Structure 1
Amino acid sequence: MSSIKYDIVKEVGIISTTTSGWKKELNIISWNNREPKYDLRDWSSEHEKMGKGITLTAEELKSLKELLNNMDI
């Protein structure tokens, strides 16, 4: 199985932290030397392990922001 290469270009922020120290983070990440995208996923404390997540382009993130702004939460 081939390895996945990633470069965290910018750590945008932490959304939550579990009791085990894993953090749900929004970051800008370049996956396999491709154009960086916004990325939301769980990470271990030193970013050596990751959980499943979602990547979004800037346009997709803008659409998500608009949807969230229109929600009554």
Structure 2
Amino acid sequence: MIVTTSKYGDRWDLLAYDLLGDAALAPELMAVNQELVTLYQNHIPEGVEIVIPEIVAPAERITQTKAPWKKD
């Protein structure tokens, strides 16, 4: 099991993009952290431990473009 600690301003979609490579994988990330979803809704406070799932996603599901809020 891989665990990371949230930073200020983290959201499920941002974490999915940063950790799993695709913001569309946010539901999978939220599913393994169900207790945090219930407690914190969309924004996650700084310093919370987040479990990162091992996801084997089909290549066509992974987006090739960066999220609009990401800088190059």
Quickly name the TM-score band, shorter chain normalised: under 0.3
Structure (1/2) with the larger strand percentage: 1
- State TM-score, norm by structure 1: 0.26
Q: Which has the larger radius of gyration?
A: 1
- State TM-score, norm by structure 2: 0.26
